[in-house]
């Protein structure tokens, strides 16, 4: 140990550090300044940025002792007491934070910039923030907030920090207004607590030994040397699991610790809890495992061939999914033109900036308590309880904030393991995955091979679509079947096609599992079908917009699963808005310079809201009025950055005539908040928004009943506005209403269990889904004919999301989704070779940075869903769905090379250009 003497946020500080400590560790663990976040520990994500003597540096690789004598500024030092720094203020009001995990690093990087450059241009900001990533990708909001804050500092006058937003329908009292997120203030001050920010006295640190091979039989595990290492408190293997050995969201096929066999390189084999993370790591190296290596299958098509190595003893086919409508043979016979093309999409990684972390402890009441940022708290509870062999009520899941999920935090990561280690040691246990572990372990987006065969008449009328899909589900089921079902049902696009046949083979392989990921299979099939539609248009000699217009879903259309769309189909409107805007923009676009080509491309998409397919889809919320006149809404639905907290608060405020600020939201504590179901399938605004709204309405009814009796007035004479209940000339503050209830021995609270409209299983016809969101997007790209480099210059989009509950949060989701889609098209690819993960550090997985984010022109279409809250449908996923094909269609239009594979590869693109081939 050495003493480090330096200044932290203006305060002279002395702290004992290890000579090998990094500044980030010292700030977080020794000084308790957990506002500085760690996303990668490899100088790649930039979110650990702090200022050392005014200069932005990444604290994760900054040796702590180098800060001797220096002045260090962290996010905690920005606000003066309650008074936010203008940057923080602008970030809050300008809607920049979503999940919030990157925000401290972004703000500190921005502070470094505006301290030296008081009037930064867009370009200056792009340069300064180039390597400070935001996976929620609110880059335009971040840019706007920085400029707005800089102006405030320059002028010394308060600014309106709200960015300009697309037009939406007239707001109600609360609904439809661009409020900042309720948790934004915490997120900009570094006070927001994510799992790794919690610590308990006596807490142990856990690590996992993972498989050495992607496929192998375990012959023997010897943990004795690891157990003997001083500081080690427990080393557990599958034999030590008291309850069920497996977990799994649909099929319980995933061993919490490997039993007999490992099926992929991330499979956990043993877990260790020790006094420090370093000791736990040292112990891992002492565990001896004897393996018999087995042949590996790492390609879903090969996995389906006879004689392929078996990942699961029961066979490699996880599910054969079929969609049938009409008679495709007949449809193709009627066609004037038939086109058949095969497309590939790679595995994609969520790359949420917060790696997985769970803490387990035995609470004061003797029950297990797990702190985790999870997308499905109640299912976590039952999965943990099952493995422990205890009833569900012996486990409490306490949700921490989630630093991005995108579907990647639905499966069990460390929740079960910390519970087991806590049980074994009696001590609190934290299990934090490092980035490498996160990359190799958690379920990804399915890699797919999709063949699309389309038949059409000369006038463009589609007569048949036949699709064959292979999905790489990896080593375990996770949500693979559900994801690939969605890929399959959406694989003919949002088009009315009389004859459809789709077959999908979701296959087990020895790759990391695939599961939920924003877009849930539909990104992949949309890329395929929307590329094929452009190819078809060209072959038919019809304009690509016209071809789509001719066939798209409208009210009255029947989908390929046999569902008649009765309302809320805003696709045509989306298409018109986007194509008109593109036409307008084409007139004003600058021509490309020599040897570069510019062009636009367009695609459409649709995505179900809610679980659908016959799954019971419900959510519960509780609303309680407090003596101070504020209201709390409680529900176990996850806030993963999408803005659900705000939606829930707004629904309750609207119904109770309250100010938005007077509603607080408590999420994801299985002891205190009723089940909101999984945060998946763009469902939470719809189901939990409805639950909150109905719970608030139930409370309002109760208040009306009480007041109407007290004042002898019919309920309809009671109005709720501006935080007051008005009865016949009396204006009662809500605090007084609460007191009336208490005086009468009543509880001013209400719970509502909302059941979404019933849906039908695939293959049975009828409504497979209760709502769909729609989008049309266009991208302008520039292709460099000398180098094959591709740039996305700008994008135009229109989304039909039913109703914009909060236009600010909505636009954040839309831009973030589009930039993620752009990442999938342009920069991202998770590479696995024969089961070995090549992309095992963040440096090998490039997500879009601020320099990739193009200007986006966005239109909102509000074709209301009658059962949605105020007409709203899902928005979380649709925004990424058309993007991939819009970009690849633009690349084709620019240079004549058709991409059958993503991401765009400038290398093969250039070689195709040079060799005169038309496909890349």
Partner 1 sequence: MPLWEHYHRPSTVDQAIDNLAQYAGRARVLAGGTDLLLEMQQGRTAPVTAVVDITQISEIKTIEEADGYILIGAGVTHTAITHATLLAQKATCLVESCGVIGGPQVRNVATLGGNVAHALPAGDGTLSLIALDAEAEVAGPKGREWRPIGSLYVGPGKSALDHAAELIVRFRLKPHTAGEGSAFKRIMRPQGVALPILGLGAWVRVAGGVVEAARIALGPAGPRPLRAGQAEAFLVGKAFSRDLLPALAEHVLAEARLRTSPHRATAEYRTELILPLLARAVPLAVQRATTGHVTPEGIGEG
Ligand X SMILES: Cc1cc2nc3c(=O)[nH]c(=O)nc-3n(C[C@H](O)[C@H](O)[C@H](O)COP(=O)(O)OP(=O)(O)OC[C@H]3O[C@@H](n4cnc5c(N)ncnc54)[C@H](O)[C@@H]3O)c2cc1C
* Rg value, the chain, Cα: 27
Whole-number minimum distance, CB 845 to ligand X, in Å?
A: 13
Residue number with CB closer to ligand X (59 or 429): 59
289 close to 218: Cβ distance less than 8 angstroms: yes
Residue number with CB closer to ligand X (58 or 477): 58
Alpha carbons 88 and 866: distance in angstroms, whole number: 38
The contact pattern for partner 1, residues 6-25, with x = CB under 8 A and - = no contact, is: ------------xxx-----
- CA–CA distance from 320 to each of 309, 512, 562, 864 (Å)? 19, 20, 19, 35
* Residue 109 sits in the site that holds ligand X (CB under 6 A): no
347 close to 475: Cβ distance less than 8 angstroms: no
Residue number with CB closer to ligand FES (138 or 268): 138
Which listed residue (340, 722, 834, 907) binds partner 1 by CB under 8 A?
907
β-strands 268-274, 204-210 pairing: antiparallel
Which of ligand FES, ligand X, partner 1, none has residue 97 at its interface (CB below 5 to 8 Å by kind)? ligand FES
- CA–CA distance from 820 to each of 131, 610, 711 (Å)? 16, 21, 56
- CA–CA distance from 82 to each of 88, 186, 441, 539, 839 (Å)? 11, 11, 41, 64, 43
The contact pattern for partner 1, residues 42-61, with x = CB under 8 A and - = no contact, is: xx--x--x-----xxxx--x
Residue number with CB closer to ligand X (132 or 563): 132
- Phi, psi for 278 (deg, rounded to 5): -65, -40
490 close to 525: Cβ distance less than 8 angstroms: yes
Task: For the segment 276-315, give every residue that binds partner 1 (CB under 8 A).
Answer: 278, 281-282
DSSP letters, 579-632, are HHHHHHHHHHPPPP-TTEEEEEEEEEEEEEESS-TT---EEEEEEEE-TTS-EE
The contact pattern for partner 1, residues 767-786, with x = CB under 8 A and - = no contact, is: -------------------x
Residue number with CB closer to ligand FES (46 or 562): 46
Q: Which residue is nearest to ligand X (CB)?
A: 43
* Residue 228 sits in the site that holds partner 1 (CB under 8 A): no
Residues lying near ligand FES in the complex (CB under 6 A): 38-41, 43-48, 58, 60, 97-103, 134-136, 138, 353, 404, 641
Q: Nearest CA to 704 among 655, 651, 631, 634?
A: 655
Whole-number minimum distance, CB 793 to ligand X, in Å?
A: 24
List strand residue ranges (DSSP E) for 730-784, in order.
730-733, 749-755, 771-784
Alpha carbons 277 and 309: distance in angstroms, whole number: 37
Alpha carbons 541 and 11: distance in angstroms, whole number: 71
Two tokens, residue 840: 């095992």
Task: For the segment 44-103, give every residue that binds ligand X (CB under 6 A).
Answer: 44
Quote the Cα angle for 387-391-392, to 5°.
Answer: 85
Quote the Cα angle for 477-481-483, to 5°.
Answer: 110
The contact pattern for ligand X, residues 17-46, with x = CB under 6 A and - = no contact, is: --------------------------xx--
Q: Give the residue ranges of DSSP H helices in 676-715.
A: 684-710
Which of ligand X, partner 1, ligand FES, none has residue 191 at its interface (CB below 5 to 8 Å by kind)? none
Q: Nearest CA to 514 among 344, 318, 307, 356?
A: 318
Task: For the segment 64-83, give every residue that binds partner 1 (CB under 8 A).
Answer: 65-66, 68
Whole-number minimum distance, CB 701 to ligand X, in Å?
A: 58
Residue 584: how many CB atoms within 10 A of its CB?
11
Whole-number minimum distance, CB 899 to ligand X, in Å?
A: 27
Which of ligand X, ligand FES, partner 1, none has residue 125 at its interface (CB below 5 to 8 Å by kind)? none
Which listed residue (166, 373, 788, 812) binds partner 1 by CB under 8 A?
788
Which of ligand FES, ligand X, partner 1, none has residue 752 at its interface (CB below 5 to 8 Å by kind)? none
Which of ligand X, partner 1, ligand FES, none has residue 55 at its interface (CB below 5 to 8 Å by kind)? partner 1
The contact pattern for partner 1, residues 804-833, with x = CB under 8 A and - = no contact, is: ----------------------xxxx-x--
Whole-number minimum distance, CB 116 to ligand FES, in Å?
A: 21
- Phi, psi for 301 (deg, rounded to 5): -70, -45
The helix (run of H) or strand (run of E) holding residue 14 is strand 11-17
Q: Nearest CA to 402 among 132, 639, 685?
A: 639
Which of ligand X, ligand FES, partner 1, none has residue 98 at its interface (CB below 5 to 8 Å by kind)? ligand FES
The contact pattern for partner 1, residues 124-163, with x = CB under 8 A and - = no contact, is: ---xx-xxx-------------------------------
Whole-number minimum distance, CB 61 to ligand X, in Å?
A: 8
* Residue 109 sits in the site that holds partner 1 (CB under 8 A): yes
Whole-number minimum distance, CB 104 to partner 1, in Å?
A: 14
Binding site for ligand X (CB under 6 A): 43-44
Binding site for partner 1 (CB under 8 A): 2, 18-20, 41-43, 46, 49, 55-58, 61-63, 65-66, 68, 109, 112, 127-128, 130-132, 278, 281-282, 786-789, 826-829, 831, 838, 841, 843-846, 851-852, 903, 905-907, 910-911, 914
């Amino acid at each position: 140990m050495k003493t480090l003497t330096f200044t932290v946020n203006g305060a002279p500080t002395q702290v004992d550090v290890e000579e090998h400590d990094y500044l980030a560790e010292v700030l977080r663990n020794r000084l308790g300044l957990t506002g500085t976040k760690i996303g990668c520990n490899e100088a790649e994500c930039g979110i650990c940025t702090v200022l050392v003597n005014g200069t932005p540096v990444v604290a994760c690789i900054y040796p702590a002792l180098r800060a001797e004598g220096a002045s260090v500024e962290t996010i905690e030092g920005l606000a003066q007491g309650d008074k936010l720094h203008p940057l923080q203020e602008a970030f809050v009001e300008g809607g920049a934070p979503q999940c919030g995990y990157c925000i401290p690093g972004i703000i500190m990087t921005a502070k470094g910039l505006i301290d030296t450059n008081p009037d930064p241009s867009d370009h200056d900001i792009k340069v300064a923030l180039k390597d400070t990533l935001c996976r929620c990708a609110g880059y335009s909001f971040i840019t706007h907030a920085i400029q707005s804050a800089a102006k405030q500092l320059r002028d010394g006058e308060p600014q309106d920090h709200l960015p300009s937003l697309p037009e939406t329908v007239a707001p109600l009292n609360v609904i439809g207004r661009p409020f900042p997120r309720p948790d934004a203030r915490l997120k900009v001050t570094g006070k927001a607590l994510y799992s790794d920010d919690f610590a308990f006295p006596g807490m142990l640190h856990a690590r996992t030994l993972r498989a050495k091979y992607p496929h192998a039989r375990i012959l023997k595990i010897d943990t004795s040397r690891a157990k003997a290492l001083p500081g080690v408190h427990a080393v557990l293997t599958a034999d030590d699991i008291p309850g069920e050995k497996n977990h799994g969201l649909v099929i319980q096929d995933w061993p919490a610790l490997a039993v007999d066999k490992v099926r992929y390189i991330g499979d956990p084999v043993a877990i260790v809890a020790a006094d420090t993370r370093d000791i736990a790591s040292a112990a891992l190296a002492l565990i001896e495992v004897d393996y018999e290596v087995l042949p590996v299958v790492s390609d879903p098509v090969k996995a389906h061939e006879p004689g392929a190595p078996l990942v699961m003893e029961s066979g490699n086919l996880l599910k054969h999914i079929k969609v049938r409508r009409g008679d495709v043979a007949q449809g193709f016979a009627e066609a004037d033109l038939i086109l058949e093309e095969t497309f590939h999409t790679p595995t994609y990684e969520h790359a949420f900036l917060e790696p997985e972390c769970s803490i387990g402890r035995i609470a004061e009441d003797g029950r297990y308590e797990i702190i985790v940022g999870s997308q499905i708290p109640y299912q976590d509870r039952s999965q943990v309880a099952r493995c422990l062999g205890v009833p569900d009520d012996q486990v409490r899941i306490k949700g921490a904030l989630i630093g991005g999920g995108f579907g990647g935090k639905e499966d069990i990561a460390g929740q079960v393991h910390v519970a087991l280690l806590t049980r074994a040691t009696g001590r609190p246990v934290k299990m934090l995955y490092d980035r490498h572990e996160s990359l190799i372990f958690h379920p990804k987006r399915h890699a797919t091979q999709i063949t699309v065969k389309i038949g059409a008449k000369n006038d463009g009328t589609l007569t048949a679509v036949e699709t064959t899909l292979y999905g790489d589900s990896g080593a375990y089921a996770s949500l693979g079947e559900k994801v690939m079902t969605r890929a399959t049902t959406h694989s003919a696009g949002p088009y009315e096609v009389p004859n459809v046949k789709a077959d999908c083979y979701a296959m087990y392989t020895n790759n990391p599992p695939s599961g939920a990921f924003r877009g849930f299979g539909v990104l992949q099939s949309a890329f395929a079908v929307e590329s094929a539609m452009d190819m078809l248009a060209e072959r038919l000699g019809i304009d690509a917009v016209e071809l789509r217009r001719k066939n798209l879903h409208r009210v009255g259309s029947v989908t390929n699963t046999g569902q008649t769309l009765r309302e809320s189909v805003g696709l045509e409107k989306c298409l018109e808005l986007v194509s008109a805007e593109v036409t307008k923009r084409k007139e004003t676009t600058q021509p490309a310079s020599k040897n570069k080509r510019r062009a636009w491309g367009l695609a459409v998409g649709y995505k179900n809201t809610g679980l659908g397919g016959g799954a019971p889809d419900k959510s519960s919320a509780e609303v309680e009025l407090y003596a101070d006149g504020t209201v709390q809404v409680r529900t176990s639905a996850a806030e993963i950055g999408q803005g659900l907290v705000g939606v829930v608060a707004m629904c309750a405020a609207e119904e109770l005539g309250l100010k938005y600020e007077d509603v607080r939201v408590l999420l994801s504590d299985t002891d205190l908040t009723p089940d909101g179901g999984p945060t998946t399938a763009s469902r939470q605004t719809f189901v939990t928004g409805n639950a909150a709204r109905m719970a608030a309405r139930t409370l309002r009814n109760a208040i009306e009943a009480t007041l109407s009796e007290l004042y002898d007035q019919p309920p309809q004479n009671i109005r709720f506005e501006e935080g007051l209940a008005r009865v016949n000339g009396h204006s009662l503050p809500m605090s007084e209403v609460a007191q009336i209830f208490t005086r009468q021995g009543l509880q001013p609270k209400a719970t509502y269990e909302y059941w979404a409209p019933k849906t039908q299983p695939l293959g049975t016809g009828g409504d497979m889904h209760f709502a769909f969101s729609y989008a049309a997007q266009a991208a302008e790209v520039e292709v460099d004919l000398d180098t094959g480099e591709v740039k996305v210059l700008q994008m135009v989009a229109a989304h039909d999301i039913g109703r914009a509950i909060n236009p600010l949060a909505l636009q954040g989701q839309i831009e973030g989704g589009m930039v993620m889609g752009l990442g999938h098209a342009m920069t991202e690819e998770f590479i696995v070779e024969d089961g070995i993960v090549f992309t095992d550090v963040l440096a090998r997985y490039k997500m879009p940075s601020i320099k990739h984010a193009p200007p986006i022109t966005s239109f909102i279409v509000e074709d209301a869903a009658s059962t949605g809250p105020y007409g709203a449908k899902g928005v979380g996923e649709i925004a990424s769905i058309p993007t991939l094909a819009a970009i690849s269609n633009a690349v084709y239009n620019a240079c004549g090379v058709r991409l059958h594979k993503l991401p765009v590869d400038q290398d093969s693109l250039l070689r195709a250009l040079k060799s005169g081939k038309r496909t890349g």
